């Protein structure tokens, strides 16, 4: 935009609007830059389209106004507070209407964040190469744990969330709480020791829980000592650290990752009401199965009983038939039956005549209806 001046008594005179436009146009040609300072006077309102704060030089108190679109600021999820030291990436600009000079922010990082991120990425790659994050190492959670170990802060809302959710979901559950540091330089070692102690006291699943926090607050959960302790834990570990978008390295080493502490509670214990309903359904199915089997076997017994009542009669009839057959055979073979067909039995004394006797021999002759004497001639 070309800024026009007015000739007044041989002078080029700019209006305030024209001057501000000219400066604003010139500032737009400047490159984007990183500026370091402390956050002060942070102002954010839901109805505002932008977030405003002041960058203060901690050495000499010099100040720089900063403005950033609210959507971009919220997406960073930095939860900045006054006094924090940051690096702001942006472009200088002039608000023409009021002549306010400021830095229009495009990104914000906490001081030193870049170095931390690079170090964490190197650690992540090294541990991944060792297999600490491998899917085949993940273990299934116990269906109904005997003792749940909970590692959390001593005044943490995460502890309350986990215990409340477990109690509501499965009242008989036994939970052993290890309250320890969950942020700061002593946290990693303290949590590592707590995990070991809980396992020694019989926990068959361990929940590592902490609510949301800043990047620095969650750094202990990416400490190599804690990550290795989680991977080497003899029982399954559920990591419930920060919010869903937070991914400390202990999440990758744990057997199960929960987006929130409350979700972790739902993962480690079953729903008692659901178990009771399933038990009722199983009981009803078993009752129906037993009733069907009983009816089937009762029917078989009834059929067998009828067969047993008929069996003696059938056996008697068979025996009677066999006896009659035997009787008929015996009767057909008896001498009396032979005599009735017209034959006779001739005896000499007590012997039966089988060949002609000498003439004059006295004979006894048996016929079907009697006997008589005879003499051979």
pLDDT score at 296: 86
Residue 158 has pLDDT above 70, yes or no: yes
SS3 50: strand
SS3 79: coil
Please list, residue by residue across 335-366, b when 16 or more beta carbons sit within 10 angstroms of its beta carbon and e when fewer do.
eeeeeeeeeeebeeeeeeeeeeeeeeeeeeeb
pLDDT score at 115: 62
Give the residue among 135, 128, 158 at the shortest CA–CA distance from 256.
135
Residue 19 has pLDDT above 70, yes or no: yes
pLDDT band at 114 (very low <50, low <70, confident <90, very high): low
pLDDT score at 5: 63
Residue 260 has pLDDT above 80, yes or no: yes
Among 128-142, 150-164, 165-179, 252-266, the range scoring the smallest mean pLDDT is 150-164
Residue 2 has pLDDT above 70, yes or no: no
The Cα–Cα gap between 187 and 183 comes to: 5
The Cα–Cα gap between 66 and 104 comes to: 6
Strand 63-69 and strand 50-56: the pairing is antiparallel
Q: What tokens appear for 148 in the block?
A: 């749940």
Residue 3 has pLDDT above 70, yes or no: no
Residue 113 has pLDDT above 70, yes or no: no
Among 108-117, 169-178, 196-205, 297-306, the range scoring the smallest mean pLDDT is 108-117
Sequence-distant (6+) residues with CB within 8 A of 256 are 138, 141, 236, 237, 238, 239, 267
User: What is the torsional sign of CA 148, 237, 207, 269?
Assistant: negative
The Cα–Cα gap between 203 and 200 comes to: 7
Residue 140 has pLDDT above 70, yes or no: yes
Mean pLDDT across the chain: 86
State phi, psi for 194 to the nearest 5 degrees: -65, -40
Contact (CB, 8 A) for 38 and 56: yes
State phi, psi for 204 to the nearest 5 degrees: -105, 5
The Cα–Cα gap between 5 and 109 comes to: 42
Return the C-alpha torsion angle 249, 250, 252, 255, nearest 10. 180
The Cα–Cα gap between 56 and 64 comes to: 7
pLDDT band at 344 (very low <50, low <70, confident <90, very high): confident
């Amino acid at each position: 935009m070309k800024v026009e001046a007015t000739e007044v008594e041989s002078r080029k005179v700019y209006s305030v609007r024209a001057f501000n436009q000219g400066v604003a146009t010139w500032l737009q040609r400047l490159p984007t830059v990183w500026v370091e300072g402390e956050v002060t006077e942070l102002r954010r309102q839901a109805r505002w389209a932008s977030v405003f704060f002041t960058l203060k030089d901690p050495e000499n108190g010099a100040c720089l106004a900063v403005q950033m679109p609210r959507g971009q600021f919220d997406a960073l999820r930095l939860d900045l507070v006054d006094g924090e030291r940051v690096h702001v990436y942006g472009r200088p600009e002039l608000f023409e209407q009021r002549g306010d000079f400021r830095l229009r922010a495009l990104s914000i990082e906490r001081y030193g964040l870049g170095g931390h991120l690079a170090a964490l990425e190197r650690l992540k790659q090294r541990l991944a190469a060792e297999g600490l994050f491998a899917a085949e190492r993940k273990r299934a959670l116990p269906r109904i744990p005997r003792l749940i170990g909970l590692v959390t802060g001593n005044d943490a809302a995460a502890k309350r969330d986990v215990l409340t959710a477990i109690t509501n979901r499965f009242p008989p559950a036994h939970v052993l709480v290890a309250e320890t540091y969950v942020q700061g330089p002593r946290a990693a070692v303290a949590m590592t020791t707590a995990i070991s102690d809980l396992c020694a006291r019989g926990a068959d699943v361990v929940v590592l829980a902490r609510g949301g926090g800043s990047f620095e607050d969650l750094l202990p959960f990416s400490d190599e000592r804690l990550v290795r302790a989680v991977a080497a834990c003899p029982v399954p570990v559920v990591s419930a650290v920060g919010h869903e978008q937070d991914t400390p390295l202990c999440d990758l080493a744990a057997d199960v990752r929960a987006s929130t502490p409350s979700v972790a509670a739902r993962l480690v214990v079953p729903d008692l009401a659901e178990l009771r309903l399933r038990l009722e359904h199983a009981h009803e199915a078993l009752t129906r199965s037993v009733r069907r089997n009983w009816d089937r076997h009762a029917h078989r017994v009834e059929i067998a009983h009828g067969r047993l009542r008929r069996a003696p009669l059938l056996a008697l009839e068979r025996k009677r038939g066999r006896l009659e057959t035997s009787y008929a055979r015996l009767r057909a073979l008896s001498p009396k039956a032979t005599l009735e067909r017209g034959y006779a039995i001739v005896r000499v004394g007590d012997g039966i005549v089988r060949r002609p006797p000498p003439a004059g021999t006295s004979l006894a002759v048996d016929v079907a209806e009697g006997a008589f004497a005879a003499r051979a001639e």
